[in-house]
Structure 1
Amino acid sequence: MRKELLFAFAAFFFMSLHAIAGNFAEEQNQPNVLVITTYEKDVTGDKAKDEITLWGKPYEPGALFYKEIWAEIQTADGKKFRIDYEGGYEPQVVFPDLNHDGVKDLLQSSATGGSGGLYNYSLYTLAGDKKTDIGMPPALSIDAHFENDYKGVITFSDMNESFTVDLGDRKEDYERLGIFQDGKLNEPTEMMVIPYAMFEPVKIKGKEGKGLRGVQRISGAYQADAVGNVYSYWYYENDQWNLTDMKWEEL
């Protein structure tokens, strides 16, 4: 009797293992998981090319939006890493050296698909076979508000600068929305500071290597009511992002 029970338990155990292995293989090969693109770059600093595969799981079969995005990296010496990203459209990875250690970093981006043209970003390094999240530049400290006579005042505390914008050509819209009455503010009203729309690697004046240029939009009463763009320039040094310059462009 004991032998029969042992045999039954053993059979059940191996059947369970087989089922688990089958489920794992099915997950790895499910039809709605796609290879978006592959890259061959040295991202560990050993002078040998590593294989980077960017995977995505669409929201539904045939959809352009990926609800899950991740990169799998197989190094030249056989180590494996995985980096998970936020979902989005048109994901890609570029490989600048933004922390200036002589090793290419992984800067990933994907479009959010919103009306503001915003992108998700993520920055990692695998130097020395160690996965480290470098992070992206912080938000600028911006105050933007309306003032009497259809004016907008934008103050950039990080650079101790302020700009006044004449919005008189929009007065009919602002009067209709109840923001102004005959040029006088009905109540204190903030303008819209949109999050970073995008980042791009650029040369930073007076610095070795590249940094990032961030682009933000300031809007008036609603997102499509664009007032101007803020261009901020960042350089990674002493384990943090440092703001080196900022430019305001009125639209």
Structure 2
Amino acid sequence: MKKELLFAFTAFFFMSLSAITGAYALEKEEVETVIYNNKLDYFHDGTLETIQLKGIAAKEDKKSFKELALEVYDSTGTKKSAQIEGGYHPTLQMVDIDKSKNQAMLLKVLTDEKGSNAANYLYTFAHKELKELALPELPGITSEFKADYKAELTIEGLKTYSFNLVERKERYEKLGIYRKGQLNEPTEMMVQPYSSLTTMIYHHKPAFKGKQKICGVADSDTIAYMETIWTRSNNKWKLEKIKMKEISKKL
């Protein structure tokens, strides 16, 4: 009996050890991929810095990265790094944001596989410190649905935009947003983060062009796209232009 118990215990021990080893092996299978690698004279002092974007693929979805890291090595090999939230198709671009000698790093990570939403990040390596810069942002935005299937969006100190949503009448009535054209309860629109943030030249100056989606009752309920152009000087963003494109859509 004792021999049988000893045999069973020994078998259980080796099975457990095998399971632990297997789990460890799975963890070891995680491979870090270098997505972007660039050597450049960032400070224009004759030495090279290395900029890398690395990622670890998600096990459940090989098309996405569960972790991302921006790493910058100076000429002595000293590393500065920043952890970035994972996602799909990450890209890194060196950009000039204010006509300075030192460029910034613009990162874009899609937050869904379709590419309809994205997260954008902007970093600099000034004074050999990796620092995240705030993206250009509009002042306070307020929005509300109005009676008779209308809506308004106000950008504080700038302009109020009006939208005719009568084409969505049937859908909004079914959802209980309206009852015979009257609003059931206060309802706001949603202004999404930048789905696109690209560089351009505006009046001979480096600039960013941003695109944001304005939604109604759901992400798929696109009411308009808002495009903005920004320049930067003295560490501050300046809004140069804004354009609103209303979407006519029957839901």
Both proteins in one fold, TM over 0.5: yes
Question: Does the alignment pair 1:209 with 2:208?
Answer: no
Distance 2:220 2:118 in 1: 17
Indicate if the aligned counterparts of 2:119 and 2:194 stay in contact, CA closer than 8 A.
Answer: no
1:94-105, aligned counterparts within 5 Å? Answer: 94-105=93-104
Which residue matches 2:132? 133
Percentage of pairs with the same residue = 29
Question: Does the alignment pair 1:232 with 2:231?
Answer: no
Indicate if the aligned counterparts of 2:118 and 2:193 stay in contact, CA closer than 8 A.
Answer: no
* CA deviation after TM superposition for structure 1 residue 240, in Å: 2.1
Which residue matches 1:218? 214
Q: Normalising to structure 2: TM-score of the pair?
A: 0.78
Inter-CA distance 134–114: structure 2 relative to 1 (3 Å threshold)? same
1:53-132, aligned counterparts within 5 Å? Answer: 53-60=52-59, 63-76=62-75, 78-113=77-112, 117-132=116-131
Which residue matches 1:157? 156
Q: Deviations over 1:34-74 (max 9, x none)?
A: 22232233333335543222210122287122121112223
Which residue matches 2:166? 168
Q: In structure 1, what residue type is equivalent to 2:73?
A: Q
Inter-CA distance 120–212: structure 2 relative to 1 (3 Å threshold)? same
More strand by share: 2
Distance 1:30 1:82 in 2: 23
Indicate if the aligned counterparts of 1:39 and 1:52 stay in contact, CA closer than 8 A.
Answer: yes
* CA deviation after TM superposition for structure 1 residue 135, in Å: 2.4
Gaps of 5+ in 1: 1-25
Indicate if the aligned counterparts of 1:156 and 1:162 stay in contact, CA closer than 8 A.
Answer: yes
Q: Deviations over 1:83-107 (max 9, x none)?
A: 3222111111101111432112111
Indicate if the aligned counterparts of 1:219 and 1:225 stay in contact, CA closer than 8 A.
Answer: yes
Q: Tell me, what secondary structure is at the counterpart of 1:174?
A: helix
How many matched pairs?
Answer: 221
Indicate if the aligned counterparts of 2:209 and 2:230 stay in contact, CA closer than 8 A.
Answer: yes
Q: Deviations over 1:160-196 (max 9, x none)?
A: x112111111111011111112212122221222222
Distance 1:97 1:226 in 2: 32
Q: Tell me, what secondary structure is at the counterpart of 1:154?
A: strand
Instruction: Provide the alpha-carbon RMSD of the alignment.
Output: 2.5
Which residue matches 1:7? none
1:180-191, aligned counterparts within 5 Å? Answer: 180-191=178-189
Q: Deviations over 1:101-138 (max 9, x none)?
A: 21121111111117772222221212343333222123
Inter-CA distance 228–61: structure 2 relative to 1 (3 Å threshold)? closer
Inter-CA distance 243–195: structure 2 relative to 1 (3 Å threshold)? same
Q: In structure 2, what residue type is equivalent to 1:39?
A: N
Question: Does the alignment pair 1:246 with 2:237?
Answer: no
Q: Tell me, what secondary structure is at the counterpart of 2:193?
A: coil
Q: Tell me, what secondary structure is at the counterpart of 1:198?
A: strand
Inter-CA distance 240–191: structure 2 relative to 1 (3 Å threshold)? same
Which residue matches 1:179? 177
Distance 2:129 2:215 in 1: 41
Q: Tell me, what secondary structure is at the counterpart of 2:172?
A: helix
Gaps of 5+ in 2: 1-24
Q: Tell me, what secondary structure is at the counterpart of 1:194?
A: strand
Which residue matches 1:33? 32
Q: Deviations over 1:187-242 (max 9, x none)?
A: 2221222222221112233xx53121221111122111111011122222222222
Q: Normalising to structure 1: TM-score of the pair?
A: 0.78
Which residue matches 1:196? 194
